[in-house]
Structure 1
């Protein structure tokens, strides 16, 4: 009889424990699956044609947020590509045609260790020798510039997207005649103006070229 009572008590304890576990499981909030961060496309309209650039907020969240803050307030309207170097890159985003520099916001943290490479057609942040000094200026790589990538003990230049339409436009910009304007070298003789940078809603096909 003593064994029977022990068995009944043991079964009762197991049943109580199972019910408690089930109640806790039901009460525990279900964590939603992590949402992937979707790319953001922008169109950069220039006097040489349009380029569609796909930004990568998953790999470069700080840089993309910073860039889009300038896009959304129309900062890039009427700035120029002020530095053009064939076989290397084209740089713009911060100066007007008279080579005046526009006032910008605070510099951002360098994200060059995000795994994105300075390959042909990618867009990266321009900066001073201080790794965390980028603000509004950017450059587009015309070739694979491996020496600009992050290395152990040496921060690189943070890539945050790539040109998915209009690589013929970036090549056209790269082919213009350049000269010196005051202290600035490699300045296009005829200004190449950015008319606007705007978000686009539909994701363009990468193989389709902007004419």
Structure 2
């Protein structure tokens, strides 16, 4: 009986470990899982920006963002919407204005206590509150109108810690109406995200 039982227990243990490997998360939560404030370096054609994310207050949003970073899904996308004194938005289109594929929409964490202040990073979305997926924006002003109130706001999930001047310069570039996007406020000269890197913990 013992001879039969031992191989059986070994097989069950191996099966359990295989299941654990298969069940390993790939949703961004596996990126520096013990770090509540991961930092991401964003290399652009106008200079480098470093953001510190707040996983404690916006875990869903931060993990979603890190998932795109981990998959290198932001590389070669542009900042396609720039409104001076308001926002610098990007992450969704190539320089040819082709839309990039996205992971499922996420829950809106706008009620996390973080507000759309100058030099914060937040998620863009459609009219429905829970439609954010890959596009994000930098606030280039204190945009209290984007905070939750009677309606859902826009979820802030971090702050710029290096390169504020780069984002300020982006907010002042010349823009035009784009037929491809059917939208105003599109930079004439594309501002491209070349690379995003999760930096080592401090």
1:170 maps onto 2:197 in alignment: no
Match for residue 25 of structure 1? Answer: none
Counterpart mapping for 1:27-106 below 5 A: 38-106=36-104
Given that 2:35 and 2:201 are in contact with CA atoms closer than 8 Å, whether structure 1 keeps it comes out as no
**Bigger radius of gyration, 1 or 2?**
1
State the distance in 1 between where 2:160 and 2:35 align.
19
Structure 1 residue 154: Cα displacement: 1.1
TM-score normalised to the size of structure 2?
0.81
1:181 maps onto 2:178 in alignment: yes
1:159 maps onto 2:168 in alignment: no
1:197 maps onto 2:196 in alignment: yes
Q: Secondary structure at the match of 2:66?
A: helix
Match for residue 206 of structure 1? Answer: none
Structure 1 ranges of 4+ moved more than 2 A:
none
Q: Secondary structure at the match of 1:197?
A: strand
Structure 1 residue 38: Cα displacement: 2.3
Cα displacement string for residues 128-154 of structure 1 (whole angstroms, at most 9, x for unaligned residues): 010000000000000000010011x41
Counterpart mapping for 1:133-144 below 5 A: 133-144=131-142
Unpaired runs of 5+ residues, structure 1, are 1-35, 204-211
Given that 2:38 and 2:201 are in contact with CA atoms closer than 8 Å, whether structure 1 keeps it comes out as no
Q: Secondary structure at the match of 1:95?
A: strand
